[in-house]
Amino acid sequence: MSYTTMEVSDKVFDDAATAQMERIVADLGRMYHERNEALREVTRAHHEALLRLSLAADFRDDDTGVHIMRIGYLAEALALALGEAASFAHTLRRAAPMHDIGKIGVPDQVLKKPGAFTAEEREVMNKHPVMGAEILGRSRIPLFQLAAEVALTHHERWDGGGYPNGLSGEGVPLSGRIVAVVDFFDALTMDRCYRPAFPDDVALEMLAQQRGTAFDPRVVDTFIAHAADMIALRDRINTEPPTFEMLVGAA
């Protein structure tokens, strides 16, 4: 089969145009991959910095610093027990350890006070959710959006008597309702500078007493129904705490 001069010219042009388009597509693919890699590195670095700040805040209230690690894994387990998507539960595990990051701004004489707060001290203490949300910022990255949501809402109550915004019922984001329950139970069952740990059965009774007042009834019921698994998970973390790299995880 023979080609005219014009046909040959057109074919050469088409082949060149196709090759150029393939190079452009390849370059765009490489740029997209490099952009995503850069975003993952920035997210990881941001997460690491905020997690270290959260650890610093936790060390002021817990000599081991393992509390925030337990909160992450317990929150993930409870979310899964509630039937939430694995993607949400996984992100919550990474976000929940930053729930009390705002305590970095609370003075020791308030944070570690063994007795009841004065009105002024309570006002100072009640600012830490807002401070935490401000530290975590208004990022468009889902991890930090969820972490800010948890920091801001984990002291809200089902009955509307919490802080800082007096949200109630399902007006409190599920992430905050989950972390509120696991934080309550975990805090009761750990030694504090002003009291020894409560036994697990006593802490579960205290949790049940707050069902429908401080905490979402469904979240409490699910935690209690899976209490043996939750306690076993807590004990495993106490025995072999996750490494810092495991907490940061893949971006």
Choosing from 103, 112, 113, 127, the catalytic residue is 103
Report yes or no: 184 and 131 within 8 Å, Cβ to Cβ: no
List C-alpha distances in Å: 212 to 51, 139, 170, 184, 218: 32, 33, 12, 14, 9
Q: How far apart are CA 241 and CA 48, in angstroms?
A: 17
Whether 103 is catalytic: yes
List C-alpha distances in Å: 22 to 28, 32, 181, 243: 10, 15, 54, 44
- Among 95, 92, 120, smallest CA distance to 106 is for 120
Active site residues: 103
